[in-house]
Amino acid sequence: MKRIYIILCGMILLLAACKKKENVDLIVHNGLVYTVNDTFDQAEAFAVRDGKFIEVNSSDEILSKYTAPSIIDVGGKFIYPGLIDAHTHFYRYGTGLKIADLTGLTSFEALVAAVKEHRKNHPNQAWLLGRGWDQNLWPGKTFPEKDLLDQAFPDTPVLLSRIDGHAAIANQKALDMGGITASTDILGGKVILKNHQPTGVLIDNAIDEVSSKIPEISTKESRQALLDAQENCFAVGLTSVVDAGLDRSTIDLIESMQKEGSLKMRVYAMINPTEENKAYYFEKGPFQSESLTVRSFKIYGDGALGSRGASLLAPYHDAPDELGFLLNTPENFLSLTEEIHDHGFQMNTHCIGDSANRTLLNIYAKVLMKENDQRWRIEHAQVVNPKDVEKFAAYNIIPSVQPTHATSDMYWAEDRLGHERIKHAYIYKDLMEQNGLIALGSDFPVENINPLYGFHAAVARQDANNWPAEGFQPENSLTRKQALKGMTIWAAYANFEENLKGSIESGKLADFIITRRDLMTAPEESLRNINVEATFIGGEKVH
């Protein structure tokens, strides 16, 4: 009997040793995997098949159970879910790579010189376009006037956008083409005058009068813009982007490029609320695939703080005669809100000033039931009166914020708001605590595309030079765990995509990144400089 027992045991061991391993497409092991699941578990390895994680476990468990044509030993490096930017202008960023870059210039004269240099390199462009200027970096911090542009380019239309996209300066040729005069009056827009004549500076909806005259770019150029944007995003670890404000033609192009395989970036598209777009998408209804989600409309409530277009409850501290303005009437906002709700879409509204936030939160409240899973969003939620903060929780409204806005604006925001009201701005922790989550993005190209700049800003509340030493309003900083969730699973939740992505779990899309240093433990001052060594989408290495 003893001999038989020994033989049987040997056979069992032999069968176990000979058990065939399960075939998968990819195995990644010997890493520290931050799964960002419900319990924020850590693991060492995972297996991928058909573009999805099929098991996350220890290295020994994964290697003993699976075999794959591609097995990656990451040598103790750190793995996170693919990063999601909850608010970008992805397509506009791509097209903007071909226009004049005016970011960081410290005078209007330097701006004109940069446009002249751009003209030398692009002599055949019908319009001269640029973006990125910020008068807060210039002596006097005052808006520019068009005289130097008129002298340099008397016969070529010029339109140059401010860093936030809510102001622009045009030369006289462009103003003439847009029909802009001293008497131009536009709802939700403003033409800046001096001595009763246009200075060339246009605010918010007034910009459209000129920009609508710019010829549309070709489909070939649009395709290349998307590919260029994708390449740069992959390099910094972004695997999904929210593109805030697209027309049907661009959404269709994105979908066709995704289907053909050239565009691998996953996109959550907010629709521009034009009559044509509404008619089409209201009939079509919300749509979601593994690569594309179309279920929301992007609405502009007001403008930007830097250009004094943000709608405030009390006057600007540095301009006592100005309150900013809404970009539409409350009645029109309410009508649009009801329309969007009745057709089953999310409403995602740009709100910067405390008046815009109050107005739109109250309008949301009229339409949403207190108990709902509509996941309507306030984009930016930049200045929120304390009396209005609780409305996010009461109506399950998601704050979608951009941490680098705080660290970009902190040098001059108090000038706009004053000592007391600045305390109600960039209150990310307070907003996060309402519903226990917050979606984090960058608003690129308004800010840099690197999501780790936002991670650093959220955690340290400091700029690239680690200033101020104690952080800007540090009481509203997020923990590293919260910041990582904000750009992974919470961002996915805000998109109705939490069952597809946002964490490294069995059944989810195999989107992940690898870094040499640990975001969770590296010194704060090094966070912006951590490089993404590899980016994977659906188990495919794309960077």
424-476 per-position pLDDT tens digit: 999 999 999 999 999 999 999 999 999 999 999 999 999 999 999 999 999 99
CA distances (Å), 343 to each of 277, 364, 371, 466, in order? 13, 15, 19, 46
Residue 201, pLDDT score? 93
Closest among 101, 443, 454, 105 to 304, alpha carbons compared: 443
Q: How far apart are CA 288 and CA 294, in angstroms?
A: 6
Angle at 42 between CA 40 and CA 45, to 5 degrees: 135
Only one residue has tokens 């029109």, namely: 332
Q: How far apart are CA 138 and CA 140, in angstroms?
A: 6
Q: How far apart are CA 266 and CA 253, in angstroms?
A: 13
Residue 535, pLDDT score? 98
Q: Which helix (H) or strand (E) holds 299?
A: strand 292-300
Contact between 270 and 254 under an 8 Å Cβ cutoff? The reply is no
Angle at 331 between CA 329 and CA 336, to 5 degrees: 95
Q: How far apart are CA 53 and CA 56, in angstroms?
A: 7
Residue 165, pLDDT score? 86
Q: Provide DSSP, 443-469.
A: -TTSS-S-HHHHHHHHHH---TT--ST
**What is the average per-residue pLDDT within 54-81?**
98
Q: How far apart are CA 356 and CA 123, in angstroms?
A: 42
Where b means 16+ CB within 10 Å and e means fewer, 498-519 reads: bebbbbbbeebbbbbbbbebeb
Residue 2, pLDDT score? 52
CA atoms in the 13 A half-sphere facing the CB of 357: 31
Q: Which helix (H) or strand (E) holds 63?
A: helix 59-65
- Residue 50 one-letter amino acid: D
Residue 54, pLDDT score? 98
Indicate if the pLDDT at residue 324 is higher than 80: yes
Domains of the chain by range and CATH?
84-89+217-541 (3.20.20.140), 127-211 (3.10.310.70)
- Residue 52 one-letter amino acid: K
A 10 A CB-CB count for 91 gives 23
Tens of pLDDT, residue by residue over 372-408, are: 999 999 999 999 999 999 999 999 999 999 999 999 9
- Residue 21 one-letter amino acid: K
**What is the average per-residue pLDDT within 157-175?**
92
Residue 11, pLDDT score? 46
CA distances (Å), 101 to each of 19, 97, 290, 407, in order? 60, 8, 34, 21
Token digits of residue 293: 């989600």
Tens of pLDDT, residue by residue over 269-312, are: 999 999 999 999 999 999 999 999 999 999 999 999 999 999 99
Contact between 460 and 477 under an 8 Å Cβ cutoff? The reply is yes
pLDDT averaged over every residue in the chain: 94
Q: What is the DSSP letter of 285?
A: -
